[in-house]
Chain A
Amino acid sequence: DAKTTQPPSMDCAEGRAANLPCNHSTISGNEYVYWYRQIHSQGPQYIIHGLKNNETNEMASLIITEDRKSSTLILPHATLRDTAVYYCIVRVYGGKLIFGQGTELSVKP
């Protein structure tokens, strides 16, 4: 199964961009990368997903390297409400959703 690796924690100043990396070096060619976040042990909230092209929506941007071995979630202007645990998830063949260990992002004033 694909494995995802994330740093355990990161800090970001309010109003600055938060860049959260994820390594998924064993990902297969047709497996998507999904980013979710979890606040106060609520259910994971969808942010963005992609396969090989960079993606942008109203919440964030996703940059996937050309070899697809890693990706970066970018929150362009972090706010205090973006403080959460961010998970990089790969959906592998057979349907398993493989979670990374998560990055605890602290946005500070």
Chain B
Amino acid sequence: DTEVTQTPKHLVMGMTNKKSLKCEQHMGHRAMYWYKQKAKKPPELMFVYSYEKLSINESVPSRFSPECPNSSLLNLHLHALQPEDSALYLCASSQDDNRPGFGSGTRLTVV
């Protein structure tokens, strides 16, 4: 879905590193999401931003820090991650009854 783009596609980071995942949507949606997906499991909701304000935090550890600079951009800042945080991280956007858009994901490996 090229209407939602995520960078980078792959990321390997050490447990002491700081990195950021980026997402941009061109669908004009006002809600944006971060999901975490482990192998053979459905995506798990992490955060929801609505109109650039954090509206839902699903009890995510503070080593994950979201940021929404504007209505089109969503970042996920990563710090001091653990190997079990290795997963596919998906960004999504939606508004009302319009079809949600999903990015192709960032495959994160924590070593």
Say if the beta carbon of A7 comes within 8 Å of chain B: no
Interface size on A, residues (CB 8 A): 22
Chain A residues touching B, majority SS: loop
Q: Of the listed stretches A15-23, A35-43, A59-67, A69-77, name the one at the interface; the rest are far from the partner chain.
A: A35-43
B99 touches which one: A46, A95, A100, A101 (CB < 8 A)?
Answer: A46
Give min CB distance, B54 to chain A, whole Å: 12
From known contacts A41-B88, A43-B1, A95-B48, infer whether A87 and B105 are also in contact, taking CB-CB under 8 Å: no
A-B contact count (CB 8 A): 60
B94 touches A42 (CB 8 A): no
Chain B interface mostly helix, strand, loop or mixed?
A: strand
In this complex, how many residues of chain B approach chain A with their Cβ under 8 Å: the count is 27
User: Contacts A46-B99, A91-B94 hold; do A96 and B37 have CB atoms under 8 A apart?
Assistant: no
Q: Give the B-binding residues of A (Cβ under 8 A).
A: 32, 34, 36, 41-46, 49, 51, 87, 89, 91, 94-97, 99-102
Task: Known A-B contacts: A46-B1, A51-B97, A87-B42. Give 16 more (CB < 8 A).
Answer: A43-B4, A43-B103, A43-B105, A44-B90, A44-B102, A46-B100, A46-B102, A49-B97, A91-B100, A95-B55, A96-B56, A97-B92, A97-B94, A99-B42, A101-B42, A102-B42
